[in-house]
Structure 1
C-alpha cells in the first residue's frame, strides 16, 4: 500500500496552475501509469458536499506520463481567475486499469488573490 504524499498546493488566481508529481517505487524507478486514469477534487472541508475544483484525465486537467510515472496537474488562467474561494482540502487518486484505486497525494490547497485585473 502506498502512503499518500502530503502536499500544500498554492494556486495563484488569474495565473495558469501547473504542478508535476512523479510516482516512484522504493528503488526510485517510476511507476508505470499506462492505462490508468486520475481524478482530484478540492472541497472546503473533507465533509463538504460542494466540489470547489475538479481535475480529471478525462477533462484534460490531469495528464499521466505512462512509463515515466509523471502526473501533471493543469488549470488554465481563465479558470483560476474565477475562483471565489480561498482554500480547501484535496486528494488525488490514480485509477488502475483493473479498477484498483490508489491515493497518490492529499493535503491543502490555498488561493492567492489576484491584484492585477483587466
Structure 2
C-alpha cells in the first residue's frame, strides 16, 4: 500500500522529493530499470493534471543512488521546476479576509518495474503556498 503524505510546495520555487521504497522485510527495493510517473491534480477526477512528470529524459523524475554507499539504485527523485509550481496557486481566489488562498489538490507517484508491475509509491494531498516575490 502506498505511503500517504501531504506535501507542501512553495509556488514559484523548485520542489524536490526523494522516495525510497522498502519491502515487507524492511529491505530497500532496487529500482534499476524502473520507470515512474507522477501527477498533481485539483481533484481525483479532474480531466487535466496541473503537473505531469515522468522518468523519460527531462521529465522531472530520475532514479539515483541515495548515497555513495548504496549497492544499487534505491531512490526515486522528483523535481518540479518553478514554472510548474507557480500556477498551483490561483491568486484570484481570496478568503474572507482578502488573503490569497493556498493552492491544494491531490497527487500520486507510481513506479513501474521491469516486468510492468505498477506500484503506487506515495500519494496524498498537496498544498502550495503563495509567493510574494515574482
Partner of 1:26: 24
Show the 5 A alignment for 1:87-98: 87-98=104-115
Match of 1:38 among 32, 36, 39: 36
- Asked if 1:70 corresponds to 2:75, the answer is yes
Q: What are structure 2's unaligned runs of at least 5 residues?
A: 66-71, 91-102
Q: What per-residue deviation string (whole Å, max 9, x for no partner) do you get for residues 45-92 of structure 1?
A: 111111111111114311112624211110122332343451110111
Where do 4+ consecutive residues of structure 1 move more than 4 Å?
Answer: none
Root mean square deviation of aligned Cα: 1.6
Provide the rounded CA distance (Å) in 2 between the counterparts of 1:82 and 1:44.
12
Which residue does 1:109 correspond to in 2?
Answer: 126
TM-score by length of 2: 0.78
Pairs aligned (count): 115
Q: Normalising by the residue count of structure 1, what TM-score does the alignment of the two structures yield?
A: 0.87
Q: Which runs of 5+ in 1 are unaligned?
A: none
- The alignment partner of 1:80 has SS state of helix
- Aligned partner of 1:6 in structure 2 is 4
